[in-house]
Amino acid sequence: MFRFREYAIEPDREPDAEAFTFTGQCAVCGRLGPTGEGGGHLTGWMLAHLRAHPDHLTYREIITRPYRAVPGRWL
Protein backbone atom coordinates (compact mmCIF):
# COMPACT_ATOMS: atom_id res chain seq x y z
CA MET A 1 0.00 0.00 0.00
CA PHE A 2 1.26 3.46 -0.89
CA ARG A 3 0.32 6.71 0.80
CA PHE A 4 1.05 10.20 -0.42
CA ARG A 5 2.23 12.99 1.79
CA GLU A 6 2.49 16.75 1.47
CA TYR A 7 5.89 18.38 1.90
CA ALA A 8 7.07 21.94 2.33
CA ILE A 9 10.50 23.20 1.28
CA GLU A 10 12.23 25.56 3.68
CA PRO A 11 15.72 26.81 4.53
CA ASP A 12 17.61 24.22 6.56
CA ARG A 13 18.22 25.77 9.98
CA GLU A 14 19.00 22.51 11.76
CA PRO A 15 22.24 22.46 13.81
CA ASP A 16 23.77 19.94 11.39
CA ALA A 17 22.79 21.86 8.25
CA GLU A 18 25.43 22.63 5.65
CA ALA A 19 26.91 26.11 5.86
CA PHE A 20 26.06 28.87 3.40
CA THR A 21 28.82 29.13 0.81
CA PHE A 22 29.86 31.96 -1.45
CA THR A 23 31.63 31.82 -4.81
CA GLY A 24 32.72 34.66 -7.07
CA GLN A 25 32.34 34.39 -10.83
CA CYS A 26 33.68 36.56 -13.61
CA ALA A 27 30.70 37.52 -15.76
CA VAL A 28 32.97 38.01 -18.80
CA CYS A 29 34.77 34.65 -18.98
CA GLY A 30 32.77 32.57 -16.51
CA ARG A 31 35.78 31.60 -14.38
CA LEU A 32 34.86 30.72 -10.79
CA GLY A 33 36.84 31.76 -7.76
CA PRO A 34 37.23 29.66 -4.63
CA THR A 35 34.14 28.72 -2.65
CA GLY A 36 34.11 29.54 1.03
CA GLU A 37 31.95 30.41 4.00
CA GLY A 38 31.28 34.06 4.83
CA GLY A 39 32.05 35.67 1.49
CA GLY A 40 34.97 37.81 2.69
CA HIS A 41 37.31 36.07 0.27
CA LEU A 42 35.36 37.15 -2.83
CA THR A 43 36.70 40.65 -3.35
CA GLY A 44 40.30 39.46 -3.06
CA TRP A 45 39.75 36.89 -5.80
CA MET A 46 37.86 39.42 -7.96
CA LEU A 47 40.66 41.97 -7.67
CA ALA A 48 43.32 39.36 -8.49
CA HIS A 49 41.31 38.24 -11.52
CA LEU A 50 40.89 41.87 -12.60
CA ARG A 51 44.66 42.45 -12.35
CA ALA A 52 45.24 39.44 -14.60
CA HIS A 53 42.41 40.43 -16.99
CA PRO A 54 41.97 44.25 -16.95
CA ASP A 55 39.04 44.14 -19.35
CA HIS A 56 36.98 41.81 -17.09
CA LEU A 57 34.97 44.40 -15.17
CA THR A 58 31.79 42.56 -14.11
CA TYR A 59 31.41 39.83 -11.50
CA ARG A 60 28.74 37.74 -9.80
CA GLU A 61 28.33 36.42 -6.28
CA ILE A 62 26.90 32.90 -6.17
CA ILE A 63 25.35 32.00 -2.82
CA THR A 64 24.58 28.37 -2.01
CA ARG A 65 22.01 28.04 0.75
CA PRO A 66 20.85 24.67 2.15
CA TYR A 67 17.15 23.75 2.04
CA ARG A 68 15.25 20.74 3.30
CA ALA A 69 11.93 19.00 2.70
CA VAL A 70 9.66 19.02 5.75
CA PRO A 71 6.98 16.32 5.91
CA GLY A 72 3.41 17.50 6.24
CA ARG A 73 0.07 15.77 6.50
CA TRP A 74 -0.73 12.43 4.93
CA LEU A 75 -3.12 12.57 1.98
Q: What is the pLDDT of residue 19?
A: 95
Give the HSE-up count for residue 71: Cα atoms under 13 Å, Cβ half-sphere: 6
Which residues constitute the domain of residue 27?
5-74
CB 25 within 8 A of CB 31: yes
The predicted-structure confidence for 4-62, as pLDDT tens digits, reads as follows 999 999 999 999 999 999 999 999 999 999 999 987 899 999 999 999 999 999 999 99
The total domain count for the chain is: 1
Q: How far apart are CA 38 and CA 25, in angstroms?
A: 16
Indicate whether 1 pLDDT > 90: no
In this predicted structure, what is the pLDDT of residue 39? 79
